[in-house]
């Protein structure tokens, strides 16, 4: 029998600070105000000595258990639970698939939902969970097993994990409409490296441009170790190579709205029948058709996650000083920097800036690095 222990854990606050109007003095007026002016104040504002209330509760935890390394988990009777993988999670409904193919529509145990956490969501597409079956197709999620291989971004000062337990991310970009954003690609590459997943770059809609115009971009990313596939879902170009890279792997398909993520998945496996949309004639940006991340099994082996379009990819838990390490082409030149703490922005005697000026580092990639360090948007 495993050792059990009582631990105190934080739960989400169930009460916020009272909002103060901040205009009491203005309502009282100047020193000439009458003595009974305070009696005329609106009674809508209540002053209280209580601030934001913290909630801590004792739970029974199994020694050594942790959720994504963040702390102890509540002890449960594993013998009564089934193990499954989350196919999709939206609102209060989570679809879980067992190894034998059965699907359950699950809710999340309240004590699990209310435990304090850094992540925006407690259950993510791709998670492996333990759930208690309540009927032939209903259940309650009791535990989320530790994750590996995640793709995450920052959202309102919290971590937004897009998908968990993956091997690689296929970053889909389009040659035209919406406009190609190399800086967004670089953000995905940093996030992928941070989450310990590989990355391939899928350049879609190549039938709409001259392939010669794409050679430089392919060369830049190819030289730093990323495979770039030229694709056209419309003309069925490059699909065999994409299938080969997806076979027997756990892959998330990510990119802007309108680049053709769902169209590519429909092309490599028509039976998926995913909804697709057009690029807006007004904004020249994609329209959201995929609303939630969903996990699909591939007939030729492997799993893919189709995700909603992402227009911004804010880095999470990456300090400006760490960004240099994710640009592998900088490494041979860092040792030539005059200062050990060189940020490669405006410092004199910078080996990286010198290499970029001489064309040994891509200008596009160097500018992308500068934007990331300075915190500029996409």
DSSP code for 286: B
- What CA–CA distance (Å, rounded) separates 94 from 124? 9
pLDDT at 35: 52
Q: Higher confidence at residue 161 or residue 45?
A: 161
Distance of CA 116 to the CA centre of its chain: 19
The tokens 């709205």 sit on which residue? Answer: 257
Distance of CA 9 to the CA centre of its chain: 25
- Which element (helix H / strand E) includes 252? strand 250-255
Pairing of strands 303-306, 250-255: parallel
Q: What angle do CA 217, 220, 225 make, to 5 degrees?
A: 125
Across 351-375, average pLDDT: 96
pTM for the predicted model, two decimal places: 0.80
Q: What is the CA radius of gyration of the chain?
A: 26
pLDDT at 128: 96
Do the Cβ atoms of 138 and 308 come closer than 8 Å?
A: no
- pLDDT beyond 70 at 27: no
Asked if omega into 228 is within 30° of 0 (cis), the reply is no
- What CA–CA distance (Å, rounded) separates 220 from 227? 10
- What CA–CA distance (Å, rounded) separates 311 from 293? 15
pLDDT at 95: 96
3-state secondary structure of 313: coil
- What CA–CA distance (Å, rounded) separates 113 from 315? 25
3-state secondary structure of 218: helix
- What CA–CA distance (Å, rounded) separates 210 from 215? 10
Encoding tokens for residue 54?
């913290």
- pLDDT beyond 70 at 116: no
- pLDDT beyond 80 at 344: yes
204, HSE (Cβ side, Cα atoms, 13 Å): 27
> What superfamily would CATH give domain 151-306?
P-loop containing nucleotide triphosphate hydrolases (3.40.50.300)
CATH of 320-374, one of 3.30.70.270, 1.10.40.50, 3.30.1280.10, 3.20.20.140: 1.10.40.50
Q: What angle do CA 123, 124, 127 make, to 5 degrees?
A: 90
Give the least confident one: 42-56, 121-135, 340-354.
42-56
pLDDT at 85: 97
DSSP code for 20: P
- CB-based contacts of 75: which residues, under 8 Å, 6+ apart? 4, 59, 60, 61, 62, 65
pLDDT at 274: 84
Domain ranges in the chain with CATH number 2.40.50.140: 77-144
pLDDT at 205: 93
CATH of 77-144, one of 2.40.50.140, 1.20.1730.10, 3.40.50.300, 3.40.50.970: 2.40.50.140
Phi-psi region of 298 (alpha: psi -120 to 50; beta: other; left: phi over 0): beta
Res. 91 pLDDT band, cuts 50 70 90: confident
3-state secondary structure of 134: coil
Percent of the chain with pLDDT over 90: 59
158-217 confidence digits (pLDDT tens): 899 999 999 999 999 999 888 889 999 999 999 999 999 999 999 999 999 998 899 999
Length of the chain (residues) = 378
How many CB atoms neighbour CB 101 within 10 A?
7
Name the average pLDDT for the chain.
82
- What CA–CA distance (Å, rounded) separates 334 from 321? 13
Instruction: Tell me the DSSP string of 66-99.
Output: -STTSS--B---GGG-EEEEEEEEETTEEEEEET
Compute CA distances 96 → 56, 102, 149, 354, 375, whole Å: 30, 8, 19, 53, 38
- CB-based contacts of 26: which residues, under 8 Å, 6+ apart? none
- pLDDT beyond 50 at 279: no
At 373, give phi and psi (nearest 5°).
-65, -40
Domain ranges in the chain with CATH number 1.10.40.50: 320-374
pLDDT at 145: 93
Domain ranges in the chain with CATH number 3.40.50.300: 151-306
């Amino acid at each position: 029998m495993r050792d059990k222990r009582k631990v105190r854990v934080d739960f989400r606050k169930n009460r916020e600070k009272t909002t103060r109007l901040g205009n009491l003095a203005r309502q009282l007026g100047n020193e000439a105000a009458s003595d009974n002016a305070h009696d005329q104040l609106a009674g809508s504002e209540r002053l209280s000595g209580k601030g934001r209330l913290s909630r801590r509760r004792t739970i029974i935890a199994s020694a050594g258990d942790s959720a994504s390394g963040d702390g102890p988990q509540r002890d449960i009777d594993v013998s009564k639970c089934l193990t499954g993988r989350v196919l999709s999670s939206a609102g209060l409904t989570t679809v879980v698939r067992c190894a034998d193919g059965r699907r359950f529509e699950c809710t999340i145990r309240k004590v699990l939902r209310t435990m304090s956490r850094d992540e925006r969501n407690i259950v993510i597409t791709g998670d492996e969970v333990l759930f208690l079956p309540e009927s032939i197709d209903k259940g309650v999620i009791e535990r989320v097993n530790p994750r590996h291989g995640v793709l995450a971004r920052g959202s309102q000062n919290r971590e937004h994990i897009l998908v968990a337990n993956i091997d690689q991310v296929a970053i889909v970009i389009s040659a035209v409409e919406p406009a190609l954003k190399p800086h967004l690609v670089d953000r995905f590459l940093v996030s992928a490296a941070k989450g310990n997943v590989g990355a391939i770059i899928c350049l879609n809609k190549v039938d709409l441009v001259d392939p010669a115009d794409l050679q430089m971009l392919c060369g830049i990313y190819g030289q730093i170790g990323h495979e770039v596939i030229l694709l056209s879902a419309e003309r069925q170009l490059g699909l065999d190579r994409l299938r080969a890279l997806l076979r027997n792997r756990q892959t998330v398909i990510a990119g802007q709205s309108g680049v053709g993520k769902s169209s590519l998945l429909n092309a490599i496996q028509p039976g998926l029948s995913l909804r697709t949309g057009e690029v807006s004639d007004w904004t020249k940006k994609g329209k959201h058709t995929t609303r939630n991340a969903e996990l699909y099994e591939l007939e030729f082996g492997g799993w893919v996650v189709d995700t909603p379009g992402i227009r911004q990819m804010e880095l999470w838990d990456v300090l400006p000083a760490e960004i240099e390490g994710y640009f592998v082409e900088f490494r041979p030149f860092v040792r030539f920097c005059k200062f050990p703490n060189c940020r490669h922005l405006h410092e004199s005697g910078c080996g990286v800036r010198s290499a970029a000026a001489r064309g040994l580092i891509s200008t596009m990639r160097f500018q992308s690095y500068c934007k990331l360090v300075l915190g500029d948007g996409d």
